[in-house]
Amino acid sequence: MSIKPEKTTIFFTGATGYIGGSVLQRILQHPEANTFDITALVRDAGKAQLLETKFGVKAVVGSMEEFDKLSQLAENAHIVVQCAEADRDDMMNAILGGLKKRHEKTGDLPILIHTSGAGIMADNARGEYLSDFILSDLDSQTIERFTPPAVHRSVDILVCKADAEGYVRTYIVLPTAVFGFGTGPLYDAGISKRSPALISVLTAAAVDRGRPGVMGTGKNAWGVIHVADNADLTYLLFCAALTGNSELGHGREGYYLTENGEVTMYELCKAIGTALVEQGLAVEAEPTMFTPDERVKYFGGDAFADLFFSNVRGRGDRGRHDLGWTPKHTREDMWKEMPEVVEGVAKKAKGSA
């Protein structure tokens, strides 16, 4: 049984983030958005005020570490859209605890849309080879073989278990490497982060060391997806779940991978290097290997560096087939915007942005 209140209550996390901002914008563009009662949890009081005054989104100031607050906000919502954090079991337990209370108290079957990541299939290639393994998101049996310590999996397992227990319908979005500048009113207002994280990390390292770096030979490949196309998939998923589509895959059958092409890390880092050379910020575009000390300096250690230089190759079949999702941007768009990305990161690194 699912209760349909006069207004659809929605709890949103990650509104100020790069991915979350694009998703919230799409939800605010829904033709029935005036029937939504959206509450967002944000850390910054100034951004909270902007969300309320400019966008009509209720904003609660707090953090993802305030578990009682998280649980209460989740309990108050028919739909939770979680775009803030993919690796915190305690955070997810708090959200699920609130949704379970809601179900037990009201009989409502709430909805959870959780943004995880395609890094679940990272293979620790360390840039040495291109794997021939390409995962379809329709293959839930193979997805379930990825277990902790695989990145994101402990949280994903909690989410799927909650769906199996019957007190919530869950859907998990698995973005590959997200690129593209965030555009639209939330970004223009300075609420959401605009720049792609993965490319920014690699670019910041390249600016600092004077040329791009790789692990191994950079032969590993990542799928890529534009931030707007990822938001479109999440929005279509939101719309389908909102209408109570009984045929929509959920729980263990509810993984939705977003991708539209792929790049090797060598290609990506070389493109960063080329842009740096063109802007007079480096003399050599060809990547060289990161030293052990550099992996600590730029990635915080081997674990994060290994994720970047693993193979993460997949197909977003479920969204295309079940939701009619049609991503519009390709890797060619990533190459076109690379000079602007590099320029922005370089300005920040030099303290002039």
Q: Which residues of 148-176 are buried (b: 16+ CB within 10 A; e: fewer)?
A: eeebbbebbbbbbebbeeebbbbbbbbbb
| Domain extents in the chain | 8-124+134-180+225-258, 197-223+261-346
What is the per-residue pLDDT for 346? Answer: 85
> What's the CATH architecture for 197-223+261-346?
Alpha-Beta Complex (3.90)
Rounded Cα–Cα distance for residues 197 and 158 (Å): 26
Nearest to 160 by CA among 176, 175, 136, 143: 143
Superfamily (CATH) of domain 8-124+134-180+225-258: NAD(P)-binding Rossmann-like Domain (3.40.50.720)
Q: Give the span between the Cα atoms of 174 and 259, in whole angstroms.
A: 9
pLDDT, averaged in runs of 10, over the chain (353 residues): 72 98 98 98 98 98 98 99 98 99 98 99 98 98 97 98 99 98 97 92 93 98 98 98 94 99 98 96 95 97 96 99 98 96 85 55
Q: CA dist 209 to 146, 281, 291, 297, 349, Å?
A: 35, 10, 11, 11, 12
Report DSSP state, residue 33: G
Phi first, then psi, for residue 95 (nearest 5°) are: -65, -45
Return the number of other C-beta atoms located less than 10 Å from residue 330's C-beta.
14
Structure tokens at 86: 């993919």
Q: What confidence score (pLDDT) does residue 353 get?
A: 44
Kindly provide the b/e burial profile for residues 109-122, where b requires at least 16 CB atoms within 10 angstroms of the residue's own CB.
Answer: bbbbbbbbbbbbbb
d(CA 48, CA 253): 35
- What 3-state class would DSSP assign to 126? coil
